């Protein structure tokens, strides 16, 4: 039966929505909930990289230099071809402009924002997450460095200290307003 199924990808698929933000900002949690609310697929680029390389993200980041990881992540993200998906990225994706421009070509980019203390608390709860941070750099320094990049690329911002349902409905309205203006 499955061999008779022929589905063609539409010429102009519905856009993707890319989620960016610091580790601990809620990209996976909010991304999954937003995808469910919109009836979109959910794609986590960190999980895709783990599957592609057959190793946990932390093992990948530990095996190569930080710059090499950023290049690898940038090429990987730039190879994504999809529509009608919520894409949750690694927090470091913003270091490669080509990757961000590719994501922008797929649809709007949403930055998830939370205060530093909240990010620090959430990171502490999951210390084994793959976090690209320079030797000797503090979470605060990383947060400040990346915040400027998230602001540069974001079309929409969402404060993830609000309840999840409030964030989702706020994003749905912002995405609809953006689509109506296009």
pLDDT at 180: 87
For residues 40-59, give the mean pLDDT: 93
Q: Class of the 14-181 domain?
A: alpha beta
Instruction: Provide the pLDDT confidence category of residue 1 given band limits of 50, 70 and 90.
Output: very low
Comparing 99-103, 133-137, 163-167, the range with the smallest average pLDDT is: 133-137
Instruction: Provide the pLDDT confidence category of residue 7 given band limits of 50, 70 and 90.
Output: low
> Is residue 2 pLDDT above 80, yes or no?
no
Helices (H), 16-138: 27-38, 45-53, 57-63, 66-78, 97-106, 116-125
- Return the structure tokens found at 83: 């529509």
Highest mean pLDDT among 24-38, 54-68, 124-138: 24-38
């Amino acid at each position: 039966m499955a061999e008779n199924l022929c589905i063609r990808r539409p010429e102009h698929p519905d856009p993707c929505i890319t989620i960016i933000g610091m580790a601990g900002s809620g990209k996976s949690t909010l991304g999954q909930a937003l995808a469910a609310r919109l009836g979109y697929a959910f794609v986590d680029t960190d999980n895709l990289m783990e599957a592609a390389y057959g190793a946990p993200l932390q093992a990948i980041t530990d095996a190569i230099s930080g710059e090499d990881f950023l290049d690898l992540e940038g090429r990987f993200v730039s190879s994504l071809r999809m529509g009608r998906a919520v894409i949750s990225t690694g927090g470091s994706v913003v270091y490669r402009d080509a990757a961000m421009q590719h994501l922008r070509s797929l649809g709007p980019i949403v930055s998830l924002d939370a205060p530093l203390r909240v990010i620090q608390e959430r990171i502490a709860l999951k210390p084994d997450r793959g976090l690209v941070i320079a030797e000797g750099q503090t979470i605060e320094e990383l947060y400040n460095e990346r915040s400027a990049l998230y602001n540069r690329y974001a079309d929409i911002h969402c404060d993830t200290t609000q309840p999840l349902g409030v964030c989702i409905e706020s994003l749905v309205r912002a995405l609809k307003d953006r689509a109506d203006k296009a």
